Amino acid sequence: MVYKYINQALLWLMRAALLGSAFYLIFQGESHGLLALLAFVVTFIPQFLRAKYEIDLPWWLEFLIVLALVLDIIVGSQFAVYNYVTGFDWFTHLLGTFIVSIIALSIVYSLKVTGQIKVTNNMIWWFTVVFALAIGAFYEILEFITDSVFGANSQISLTNTMIDLINDLIGGIITATWGSYYLMRLQGRQAKEVLQPYVKLLQVWGFRIREEMDKLRNRKK
């Protein structure tokens, strides 16, 4: 597929940008250089999962993960777009929340359909929203620690922090609503293909997935 080659080319281009940004910032004595270097390493997690455990995450998810890191570290922070473009911070928070929430939602839904847990769809919806808000709060704590240790100014004000958390909440609600609707409509082979990466991830974590995945082929609404 042509789009896969384009996706891989864009991924490597963004990785190169992160690595170049990391070295530049480190040589300039900027603490964000270490963050950029860490982000560069994080971009290879999907490839590591694919090579070691044969867990093939959706191409669009891998692309969004790398894109979110580039937008935050290079575009937003290094080029100071956060300071000049109104709403850019909101967009990156919504994007980051969507990525984290959709992974969490898919994992919990996989636990449900494989019989590992017994939960209702409403419970999964609420879990996704609360999880998104919790991750957002944890991120704000990390920003506070970074500002305190390195003298940065990531948390511009209390208002900025609260707006970020509100955006995390909105992102969680959007992801929970759309994701739940999409996953519940999956049938048969399509359901198995979509959930397979997350089921394999659960197996890596030690869950003993029974034969329910095979039953997805004949699963009804």
Question: What DSSP string runs through 164-188?
Answer: HHHHHHHHHHHHHHHHHHHHHT--H
Regarding pTM above 0.95, the answer is: no
Question: Is the same domain home to 130 and 187?
Answer: yes
Range of the domain at 196: 86-220
Question: Is the same domain home to 198 and 128?
Answer: yes
**Which of 84, 104, 131 is the endpoint of a domain?**
84
CB within 8 A of 164, min separation 6: which ones?
89, 93, 136, 139, 140
Instruction: Average the pLDDT over 10-25 and give the result.
Output: 95
What pLDDT sits at residue 221?
46
* DSSP 8-state symbol, 77: I
d(CA 187, CA 219): 6
d(CA 97, CA 103): 10
162-217 confidence digits (pLDDT tens)? 988 999 999 999 999 999 888 888 766 777 788 889 988 888 887 766 555 555 55
Question: Is the same domain home to 74 and 119?
Answer: no
Question: Is the same domain home to 76 and 59?
Answer: yes
- Name the domain count of the chain: 2
Question: Is the same domain home to 52 and 143?
Answer: no
Question: Is the same domain home to 141 and 64?
Answer: no
54-66 confidence digits (pLDDT tens)? 999 999 999 999 9
**Which of 61, 84, 107 is the endpoint of a domain?**
84
Q: Measuring CA to CA, how many Å separate 82 from each of 33, 85, 93, 96, 121?
A: 17, 6, 12, 15, 37
132-146 confidence digits (pLDDT tens)? 999 999 988 988 887
**Which of 38, 68, 84 is the endpoint of a domain?**
84
27-81 confidence digits (pLDDT tens)? 988 878 888 999 999 999 999 999 999 999 999 999 999 999 999 999 998 898 9
Burial category of 221 from C-beta neighbours within 10 Å (exposed 0-12, middle 13-18, buried 19 and up): exposed
